[in-house]
Structure formats: C-alpha cells, structure tokens
Amino acid sequence: MSNPDTAERAPVVLNPALAYDRSPPKPDAPTPNEERWSNVHAPDAMRATTASAETGTTSANRALRVFLRNPNAMTGLIFLVLVVAAALLAPVLYPEDPLSMVARPFIWPGTNSTYPLGTDSLGRDVLSGILHGARISLLVGIVATVIGLAVGLIIGSTAGYFGGWVDDVLVKLIEIVQTLPSFILLVVLVAIAQPSVAVVTGAVGIVSWPTVARLVRSEFRAIREKDYVVAARSLGYGHVRIIIREILPNALPPIIVTSSVMVASAILMESALSFMGLGDPNLVSWGSMIGDGRELLRTAWYLTAIPGLAIVFTVLALNLIGDGLNDALNPRFTDER
C-alpha cells in the first residue's frame, strides 16, 4: 500500500453534523452548490485502484505469468522455438538443395560426422531434409491456419452476430462442409489443381475453417447478449465497430487456443498429403521423406523414423502450447484472486 497514488487522494472533508442530517437544508442557510454536491466525489477511487493494482496487474500479464509457469507449455514452447530456428537456419547451414545427392546412399545415422542423421537411398542428406522440411511444415501450418482463421472468423462472426436467417444460411454452409470427410476433400482439392505448396496450403485452409467458424459463432452468440454490447448498440455504434472492437477481443482467448492446435493438424495434413505423393514434388517435406522411406522400412527404418519423430514432437509441442494457453486464458482461472 506504499504506492504514491495513495497520497494523491483527495482529502475527505466531512462535517459530522452535516453528514448525519437527513432533514432538508434549512432555507435560511442555503448551502452553496459545490458544497452540497461535494460528496459526489468518490474519495476511495485511488485507493481502490491501487489496491487492485497490487493484487494483480492486467489480465494479459497474469495470463502470461500462468503460461510461463506451466512446465508442459514451456517444454512445448522450447521445442517449437527449436523447430522455428531450424527452419530459419536451414538455408544458412545447408545452402545446397536438400534434394541433391551428396554422398553414398544408406549412411546410417551416427556413423559419419559430416552426415549426422545419415543419407537416404539416393544419397541425400537426411538432416538437411529435416531442416528444410521444417520450413515447409511450418509455412503450410501457419499460412493454412491464417486462411482457416480468416474465413472462419468472417463467417462465424457474421452468423453469430446477426443471427436470424443469416445465421441459418451460414450454419447450413458450415454443416455441409463439415459433413464431407475433410481429408478426402483435401485430396480431391489437391488432385484437381497442381500439387504445389500454394495449393496444398490453400486446400488445408479451406478444410479447416468450419471448426473456427463454429467456435467463433458460439462465442459471438454468447457475447452479443452481454450488457456492454447492448450498451454499444444503445450508443449507436455500427455493426462493424461492435464486431471488431467490442466482441472480437473478448472472443479471442478460445480462438488463440484453437489456432495452435490448428497449426498442428495442418502440419499433419500436409505430411499426409506429401506421404501420398500429393505434395509439391520439387520440395522436401517431412511427409515426403516418410513417403520415400516407406519402401525401405525393414532395412533402413531410420528414414521414416526421423521425419516421423520430427512431426510427432512438433505436433505435441503445439498441443502442449495449446493446453497451456487454455489454462492461461480460460476465464475460469482468470477469476481467481
């Protein structure tokens, strides 16, 4: 309580005789207007705000604290940082195309210090492939998630905010997309167009938006009824302002949590496509590496195991981060003091 703000507190001037006088002011001694209303001021205003400043800063800071104290989330975060670093450093460490043949085939991991993770059946460096593959996985994962989020946010917020027939139509649309098995839709989309990174990314984004749209819609429906949104309407705010400024910031926590898991599932979908040979043939990805090693599973199992582990750990890391974010941003825990 030694906050300097406390000292700024306006002095409470209270005449005890006046304070307990319920009778109307006497006509012969009219109180000046200022004094009559002097008690309108809230003398504890500063004290209350300093008191709460002491118990906890903003909710964002608190959420960050909770997140940073969560060992699982930190493990996930550290691993993800490693993957990002690998993706960023790949062109520096291995400027050569990872698809080029650099040594004799089937060098086992740990037997040659130049190729710590060995080489594949065509003599390509596995470590170089893993690092470059991280670029593709992350790129597809993040961009596809952004596409899915954007489409899902627009459709979900429109449906949830406006309700009525707009909601009915959009919910039908969401349901139609969701009834199609998403991976088959993905395969069809990629098969129709050329299998390039852009097409794969776009296709993954397209199959993942309905999840976001559903979530955003339900959040918007709940928040739309809150008094501060009703207040915004009563103040004459436009729809766009209400959606973006009033509702969206309050709907964000579950959306953030979901997006980390979406990145993970996008990485899985890309890997699966590449494994099936529907990825970009000119680029190495973790999925295509597994696909290439599939035939040699009995003789050189490391060719599938190493990219497989990369996928498992990355997806796990993203899920751990998602759980950590959920704990940190969940309003149930936000209320604790």
Partner 1 sequence: MANASLLSVRDLTVKFPRIEPVRNLSFDVSEGETLAIVGESGSGKSLTALALMRLLPKAAQITSGRIDFSGRDLLKLDDRSIRSLRGKEIAMIFQEPMTSLNPVLTIGRQITESLRLHEGLSAKAARLRAIELLDLVRIPAPHKRIDDYPHQLSGGMRQRVMIAIAVACRPRLLIADEPTTALDVTIQAQVLDLLDRLRRELSMALILITHDLGIVTQWADNVVVMYAGRKVEQALPEALFADPLHPYTRGLLNASPRLKDDYHYTDGPLTEIPGSIVSAIGENGCPFAPRCPIVRSGCRTRVPDLLVPAEDRLVACPVIFAEGERHVAARGL
Partner 2 sequence: MSLLAVSDLHTHYAGPSGTLRAVDDVSLTVEDGETVGLVGESGCGKSTLGKTITRLVAPTKGSIVFKQEDITRISERSLRPVRRRLQMIFQDPFGSLNPRQNIRDILTAPLVVHGYGNRAERAKRVEALIDRVGLPRTALSRYPHEFSGGQRQRIGIARALILDPELVVCDEPVSALDLSIQAQILNLLSSMKKDLGLSYLFISHDLSVVRYFTDRVLVMYLGRIVESADNRTLWAQPKHPYTRALMDAVPDPSRRRQAAPISGDLPSPQNIPSGCRFHPRCPLATDICRTVDPALTSFGPTHQVACHHADAA
Which residues would be at the binding site for partner 2 (CB under 8 A)? 5, 8, 10, 36-37, 39-42, 44-46, 48-49, 52-53, 58-59, 226-228, 230-238, 241, 245-246, 249-250
Our CB check for partner 2 shows the closer of 116 and 238 to be 238
Provide the minimum distance between the beta carbon of 259 and partner 2 in the complex, in angstroms, as a whole number: 18
Shortest gap between Cβ of 1 and partner 1 (angstroms)?
Answer: 4
Give the tokens for residue 196.
């390039």
12 binds, among partner 1, partner 2, none (CB under 5 to 8 A by kind): partner 1
Closer residue to partner 1 in complex, CB, 28/298: 28
Vertex 277: Cα angle to 279 and 151 (nearest 5): 35
Exposure b/e, 171-199, CB count within 10 A at least 16 = b: beebeebeeeebeeebbebbeeeebebeb
Given a contact cutoff of 8 angstroms between Cβ atoms, the answer to whether 286 and 310 are in contact is yes
For residue 245, count other CB atoms closer than 10 A to its CB.
12
* Contact call for residue 298 and partner 1 (CB under 8 A): no
Q: What is d(CA 235, CA 217) in angstroms, rounded to the nearest whole number?
A: 24
Whole-angstrom distance, CA of residue 291 vs CA of residue 117: 17
| Residue 17 interacting partner from partner 1, partner 2, none (CB closer than 5 to 8 Å by kind) | partner 1
Smaller CB distance to partner 2: residue 221 or 316?
Answer: 221
Name the binder of 53 from partner 1, partner 2, none, CB < 5-8 A by kind: partner 2
Cα distance between residue 302 and residue 120, in whole Å: 9
Query: Where does this chain bind partner 1 (CB under 8 A)?
Result: 1, 12, 14-17, 19-25, 36-37, 39, 41-44, 47-48, 51, 55
